């Protein structure tokens, strides 16, 4: 029993790593429902600029978020090369448009470094921490913040 409790403290977590431009990020694999190729989205009037629109996913309407634009990078020029990571955020299913999925990472929670103090509050609300793996710096994206109404007002 004692052994399992100590393992839980530094328990390994799995993350899906992906690229946005030259930057690498990751999200908790438990939030990921599927990874699919880019499908052109139907635009929605008066939607935030980072919401590309919606697609039909097996009879359900799936909003597509350009994760690059949501994180403050230039918008993604969506082509057949980009992918959509379908995730569950709270009770909502959304699609995240990214350049490519690169890895499945297994890391101990102890390896997650805090987001640097030089980052703005908005950046810290999106990026929960940083993983330094094999010379790569991979930002851990906090999905709950992506669709937060509080950040809508701040952005």
Q: Which residue from 97, 87, 95, 80 is spatially nearest to 19, judged by alpha carbons?
A: 97
Domains of the chain: 15-154 (2.40.50.180)
Strands (DSSP E) along the chain, which ranges? 12-20, 23-28, 32-37, 51-57, 60-66, 83-89, 92-98, 100-108, 112-114, 127-133, 136-141
User: What tens digit of pLDDT does each residue of 5-48 get?
Assistant: 333 556 789 999 999 989 999 999 999 999 999 999 999 999 99
Burial class (CB in 10 A: 0-12, 13-18, 19+), 119: middle
| Residue with the two structure tokens 């299913």 | 93
- pTM for this structure? 0.83
- When mean pLDDT is compared over 81-85, 108-112, 114-118, 121-125, the highest value belongs to 81-85
Mean pLDDT for all residues in the chain: 83
């Amino acid at each position: 029993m004692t052994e399992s409790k100590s393992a839980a403290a530094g328990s390994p977590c799995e993350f899906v790593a992906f690229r946005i431009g030259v930057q690498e990020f990751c999200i908790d694999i438990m939030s990921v429902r599927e990874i699919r190729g880019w499908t052109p989205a139907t635009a929605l009037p008066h939607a935030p600029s980072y919401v590309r629109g919606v697609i039909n996913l097996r009879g359900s309407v799936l909003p597509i978020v350009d994760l690059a634009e949501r994180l403050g990078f230039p918008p993604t020029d969506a082509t057949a090369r980009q992918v959509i990571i379908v995730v569950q955020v709270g009770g909502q299913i959304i699609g995240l448009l990214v350049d490519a999925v690169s890895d499945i990472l297994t890391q101990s929670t102890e390896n997650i470094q805090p987001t640097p103090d030089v980052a703005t509050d908005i950046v810290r609300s999106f990026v929960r921490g940083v993983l330094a793996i094999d010379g790569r710096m991979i930002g851990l994206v906090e999905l709950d913040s992506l669709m937060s109404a509080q950040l809508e007002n701040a952005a």
